[in-house]
Amino acid sequence: MKKNGKKVLHQDILVKGIVQGVGFRPFIYKLARIYSIKGKVLNSTQGVIIEAEGNEKNIRQFLESLKKHPPVLAEIHTIDVRQGSPVGYKSFRILHSTHENLKEALIPPDVGTCEACKDDIFNPSDRHYHYPFTNCTNCGPRFTIIKDIPYDRKNTSMNMFKMCKKCSEEYHNPYDRRFHAQPVACPVCGPHVSLLDRYGNEVANEKQWLKKSWNILEEGKILAIKGIGGFHIACDPGNSKTLKILRERKGRQAKPFAVMCRDLDTVKKYCHVSKKEEELLISPAAPIVILTRKKNYSLPYELAPDINTMGVMLPYSPLHYLLLSGPFDMLVMTSGNYRDLPLVIENREALQELGGIADYFLVHNREIVNRCDDSLV
Ligand SMILES: [Zn+2]
Ligand SMILES: [Zn+2]
Residue 166: its pLDDT value, please? 97
Size (the chain), residues: 377
User: Does the domain made of 193-364 have the CATH classification 3.90.870.40?
Assistant: yes
189 C-alpha to center of ligand 2: Å? 4
Question: CATH number of the domain at 2-94, please?
Answer: 3.30.70.100
- Sign, CA torsion 292/298/300/306: positive
Q: Which ligand ends up closest to the CA of 191?
A: 2
Number of H helices, E strands in the chain: 10, 17
- Scored b (16 or more CB within 10 A) or e, 68-95 reads eebbebbebeebeeeeeebeebeebebe
Q: Name the CA radius of gyration of the chain, rounded.
A: 23
Distance between CA atoms of residues 243 and 250, nearest Å:
10
135 C-alpha to center of ligand 2: Å? 11
291 C-alpha to center of ligand 1: Å? 28
115 C-alpha to center of ligand 1: Å? 7
Distance between CA atoms of residues 345 and 225, nearest Å:
10
Of residues 217, 220, 137, the one with CA closest to residue 175 = 137
66 C-alpha to center of ligand 2: Å? 31
Q: Which ligand ends up closest to the CA of 118?
A: 1
Residue 208: its pLDDT value, please? 94
Residue 5: its pLDDT value, please? 54
Q: Is the ipTM of this complex over 0.90?
A: yes
Angle at 22 between CA 48 and CA 151, to 5 degrees: 60
| Domain regions of the chain by residue span | 2-94, 109-191, 193-364
146 C-alpha to center of ligand 2: Å? 20
114 C-alpha to center of ligand 1: Å? 4
Question: Which residues have CB atoms below 5 A from the ion given as ligand 2?
Answer: 164, 167, 186, 188-189
User: One fold for both 109-191 and 193-364?
Assistant: yes
How would you write the pLDDT of the chain (377 residues) with one tens digit per residue?
A: 555 557 899 999 999 988 887 888 889 999 999 999 999 998 887 789 999 999 999 999 999 999 999 988 888 999 999 998 898 999 999 887 655 433 445 667 788 899 999 999 999 999 999 999 999 988 998 888 888 777 788 888 899 999 999 999 999 998 899 998 999 999 999 999 999 999 989 999 989 999 999 999 999 999 999 887 788 999 999 999 999 999 999 887 778 899 999 999 999 999 999 999 999 999 877 889 999 999 877 788 888 887 889 999 999 999 999 999 999 999 999 987 654 445 556 777 778 878 889 999 999 988 777 777 777 76
DSSP per residue, 127-179: TTTT-TT--BTTBB-SGGGBSSSS--GGGBTTTTS---HHHHHHHH-TTSTTT
26 C-alpha to center of ligand 2: Å? 20
187 C-alpha to center of ligand 2: Å? 6
Q: Is the preceding peptide bond at 287 cis, omega within 30 degrees of 0?
A: no
374 C-alpha to center of ligand 1: Å? 20
Distance between CA atoms of residues 18 and 15, nearest Å:
9
Residue 109: its pLDDT value, please? 74
Distance between CA atoms of residues 135 and 318, nearest Å:
8
Residue 106: its pLDDT value, please? 61
User: Does the domain made of 109-191 have the CATH classification 3.40.640.10?
Assistant: no
- Sign, CA torsion 128/207/326/246: negative
